[in-house]
Amino acid sequence: VFKVISSEHLKEILFRFVVGDICFLIFKARDKELYDYYKENLEELSANIEHPLNFIKVYPRKMEKKQKRIFTELAWGLSPEDINFEAIFRGSSRPRGTTLDDLNVYCENVHKNYLRVLEREKSGIYLDATLRHEGLESDLHRQIKVFIVKLLAEKYGLRTKEEIEEKIWTEKKIDGATPDVYDTIEGEAYEVETLFHEDNEGRKPRDKINETIRKYEKTSIEKINIVLDNLTFLLHVRDLWEIKKNIRGWEQKTGKSVEFFTLDLKNHKLMPLSEFLQKAKELIGCENVLVSSF
């Protein structure tokens, strides 16, 4: 690519990149000589821009069919085991449902449709009982709140909007903190974190999660459940595990408990971090310090 695109032109591209929050420039090399050539040129350019580049060398890894399906389940909260892709993609020039792209594209669409349908379920009762955040709120953030409200309403047999709103509070201040969802029966707070820019106000994901936890320090709420969308959970699972490990002393000192969850759309429930890590262990096919130490 450097023989086609001049270093000066590439330098201009890199300078434009630094104005964004996160930017990726991807080069594909099939041999070591070409890779070394890429890296040498990029390192030289990196020395002359304000924000040094972070070089990540990625090798493609062949995944078994089972691993592809586990990865898809972790990323979208769905299990594609029973999906007949051959029937869905009938007439295609190649067998479908065997590649990671097939599984991801299909399950992403099912995931999004599940949450859209949820908003209209029972004449939209769960959506109507879920208040929007006063500030900016993404559609996904609101949809996850609706998902939690539905789970709690079904758990307690709440059938009308009035019954739900009486027992399941949304965006209501309690002791100075405002949970996204509050279960008045069990006294548990639910905080939704998508870690999108519009939801975390530009803060780093890990900082945002820690701030969410700390805001409950002086409240009477003892159980804090932090719920992330599936893909975000997968991307930040190590951060979540490390945060959980680091706050054990804080939990003992304050008498509070913090748990991390994501969506299990297959079983219509919330999946805890511990269960997610067990599935991740199946994905990598071996024991992992992240899993075995938790």
Q: Are residues 47 and 119 in the same domain?
A: no
Who has greater pLDDT, 244 or 84? 244
Write b or e for each residue in 152-163: b if 16 or more Cβ atoms lie within 10 A of its Cβ, otherwise e.
bbeebebeebee
156 pLDDT more than 90: yes
Q: Are residues 29 and 122 in the same domain?
A: no
CA-to-CA distance for 150 and 168, rounded, in angstroms? 10
Question: Which of the four pLDDT bands, split at 50, 70 and 90, describes residue 5?
Answer: low
Q: Are 54 and 111 contained in the same domain?
A: no
Pair (31, 112) in one structural domain:
no
Domain that holds residue 22: 1-60
Together in a domain, 37 and 181: no
216-267, pLDDT tens digit by residue? 999 999 999 999 999 999 989 999 999 999 999 999 999 999 999 999 998 9
d(CA 109, CA 75): 12
Looking at the 3D structure of the chain, how many domains does it have?
2
The answer to the question of residue 111 being in a domain is yes
Residue 198: pLDDT band (50, 70, 90) is very low
Residue 215 shares a structural domain with residue 127: yes
Judge whether 281 lies within some domain. Answer: yes
Mean pLDDT of 60-74: 83
- 82: which 2 tokens? 């029973």
For residue 193, pLDDT beyond 60:
yes
Residues 112 and 240 in one domain: yes
pLDDT the model gives residue 117: 96
Q: Residue 285 and residue 279: Cα distance in Å, rounded? A: 10
What mean pLDDT value characterizes the chain? 84
Task: Note the pLDDT tens digit of each residue in 89-124.
Answer: 555 555 566 678 888 888 898 999 999 999 999 999
- Whether residues 128 and 273 share a domain: the answer is yes
At residue 291, the pLDDT reads 47
pLDDT on residue 33: 79
The whole-number pLDDT of residue 293 equals 46
pLDDT value at position 82? 58
- Cα–Cα distance for residue pair 290/242, rounded to 1 Å: 9
Task: Give the pairing of strands 181-183 and 168-170.
Answer: antiparallel
Minimum mean pLDDT among 43-57, 237-251, 262-276: which range?
A: 43-57
pLDDT at 85: 57
pLDDT at 92: 56
Cα distance between residue 3 and residue 42, in whole Å? 13
Q: Are residues 226 and 135 in the same domain?
A: yes
281 with 165, same domain: the answer is: yes
Q: State mean pLDDT over 5-23.
A: 64
